[in-house]
Amino acid sequence: MSSSATPYGARPVGSLSVNGSFSGKVRHYSIASGYATSIFYGDFVKLVAAGGVEKDTGTTTLTPVGIFLGCSYTDPNTSQKTFSQMWTASVVASDASAYVMDDPDILFEMQADGSGAQTVIGNNVAVVQTAGSTSIGTSKNAIDISTVASTTATLPIRIVDISSKSGNTAGDSYTDLVVKFNAGHIMSNTTGI
C-alpha cells in the first residue's frame, strides 16, 4: 500500500480534544459564489476577510480553519440542491456551504512524499500542494518528508505517529502518517484574519 505514491490529502481519524463527539467537530462555512479555485475533499481551507472559506495553498506556512469534507449548493443549471465531495471552480451559487472539520486538535492521516522512519515522530513538516482528482473529488496533497525538522516551530504540521492501517510501516517508500496542525490554525491564533 505505501510502496506507491497515492496521496489523498488530509483524512480525519480522531482528536486530541476530549470535548464533544468526533462528528460534532464539523461546521458549515460559506463559499463565495463564483469562487474560482476548486477545493477537494481533504484540502486545507482558510477563513477570508470577506467571510467564508477558500482553499489554503500554503506549504511551509498555513493559516487553516480546518479540513474540507465536501459542500452543498443549489446547482445553477438544474436549480436542485447538490451535495458534492469537491467544490468545482467558478460555480455560481449564493447558498454554497463548505463542510469543514475545524477542531484545531484534530488528528488526520496524510501520505508522505517519501520514506518516513520511526524517528520522524514528534517533528514538524511542510505540505506538498498538488491539484486534486476531478474524477473522484479528492485532494492529492501530501507531507513533504524532506522538510522534517524538530526546531522549526513555524512549520504547519506535526507528525504524531506512523499510521497503523494495514500494509503501512515506518520506512515504507511512501509512509502514511498520523499528523496534526502545528502552527497557524486560525482558532489557536491570538490575532484574527
Per-residue pLDDT of the chain in tens (193 residues, 90 and over written 9): 467 889 999 999 988 876 656 666 899 999 999 999 999 999 999 999 888 999 999 999 999 999 999 999 999 999 999 999 999 999 999 999 999 999 999 999 999 999 999 999 999 999 999 999 999 999 999 999 999 998 899 999 999 999 998 889 898 899 999 999 998 888 777 677 6
Cα 45–49–51 angle (5° rounding)? 70
Q: Show the beta-strand stretches assigned E in 25-64.
A: 26-30, 44-47, 53-55
pLDDT of residue 22: 65
Residue 69's nearest CA partner among 20, 139, 166, 129 is: 139
pLDDT of residue 32: 97
- DSSP type of residue 81: E
